[in-house]
Amino acid sequence: SQQGEEDPQALSIQEGENATMNCSYKTSINNLQWYRQNSGRGLVHLILIRSNEREKHSGRLRVTLDTSKKSSSLLITASRAADTASYFCATDAGVTGGGNKLTFGTGTQLKVEL
């Protein structure tokens, strides 16, 4: 089963609104990463947050991590039509936890309408 589960599966908002996506996972992690994918294209890395960090910012993106709840959230502020894409969280459970690999969730499809 997937390590990361995103919620909601789909989200539709108006341009200018904020979009929040959540990710829950099951085991201890070394870090958690968020990626973006435009339809049918390769994934693009957005943010990496380590297990000892609680919050991280990059431009209009804000990521939080709560290791006690095994969850993370991605907030996109002042959304634009160009933010329309699928967003994935990926967990790195480290050598002992995950066997040297990233495990991806099934993604949140975000649609930003004009």
Partner 1 sequence: EAQVTQNPRYLITVTGKKLTVTCSQNMNHEYMSWYRQDPGLGLRQIYYSMNVEVTDKGDVPEGYKVSRKEKRNFPLILESPSPNQTSLYFCASSLGLHNEQFFGPGTRLTVL
Binding window for partner 1 (CB under 8 A); candidates: 13-21, 54-62, 69-77, 91-99: 91-99
At residue 62, the 3 state secondary structure works out as strand
Is residue 59 a contact residue for partner 1 (CB under 8 A)? no
Q: Between residues 15 and 61, which has the closer beta carbon with respect to partner 1?
A: 61
CA 114 to each of CA 12, 21, 37, 85, 111: distance values in angstroms, whole numbers, following the listed order? 11, 20, 20, 15, 10
Q: Binder to partner 1 among 103, 109, 110, 112 (CB under 8 A)? A: 103
Tell me the CA distances in angstroms from 103 to 53, 64, 69, 93, 111, one per residue in order: 20, 18, 18, 8, 24
Q: Does 57 bind partner 1 (CB under 8 A)?
A: no
3-state class (DSSP) for residue 83: helix
Residue 49 Cβ vs partner 1, minimum distance, rounded to whole Å: 11
Say how far apart CA 80 and CA 18 lie, in whole Å: 9
Interacting positions 7-46 with partner 1 (CB under 8 A):
30-31, 33, 35, 40-45
Helix (H, G, I), strand (E, B) or coil at 98: helix
Query: Least distance to partner 1 from the beta carbon of 15, Å?
Result: 27
* Residues contributing to the site for partner 1 (CB under 8 A): 2, 30-31, 33, 35, 40-45, 48, 88, 90, 92, 94, 99-107
